[in-house]
Amino acid sequence: MSIPAQQPSLRWLAIGRVEDVPAQGARVVLTPDTAIAVFKTRDGRLFAIEDRCPHKGGPLSEGLVHGDCVVCPLHGLKIDLVKGSAIAPDEGSVKRYPIRQEGEQLFLGVAC
């Protein structure tokens, strides 16, 4: 994954193995700043977003994954995992984080 030049420097945290993230589910990574939800889609793609629904703060990691979106377990708000934005008619967005795979190891990019 290439990082755009305008992004701040990243440090890559080892967060476990690919098999640690269930298909159509999530694993939560706690950092000093926030909780990050790492999702795996049915076809094995990985996404990392802030684990906080923009509507009322619900834990997105507990939501259902359908295709490229996750549904908040509290009020049904749908978040696009690719863009980090709510799917209309819902509104709002969450912070996205870069994630990379090296062999079976996963790494999460967080700002330095």
* pLDDT (average), residues 13-21: 96
Residue 7 pLDDT class (50, 70, 90 cuts) = low
Model pLDDT, residue 3? 43
Three-state helix/strand/coil letters over the chain: CCCCCCCCCEEEEEEEEHHHCCECEEEEEECCCCEEEEEECCCCCEEEEECCCCCCCCCHHHCEEECCEEECCCCCCEEECCCCEECCCCCCECCEECEEEECCEEEEEEEC
* Cis, peptide link before residue 8, omega less than 30° from 0: no
Residues 6 or more apart from 2 whose CB is under 8 A from it?
Answer: none
CATH superfamily of the domain spanning 21-111: Rieske [2Fe-2S] iron-sulphur domain (2.102.10.10)
Interval 89-99: pLDDT, tens: 999 999 999 99
Is 14:99 a contact under the CB 8 Å cutoff?
no
Model pLDDT, residue 27? 97
- Mean pLDDT across the chain: 92
Model pLDDT, residue 5? 45
Model pLDDT, residue 15? 97
* pLDDT (average), residues 81-105: 96
Domain ranges of the chain: 21-111
**C-alpha triplet 89, 90, 96: angle, nearest 5°:** 130
Interval 39-52: pLDDT, tens: 999 999 999 999 99
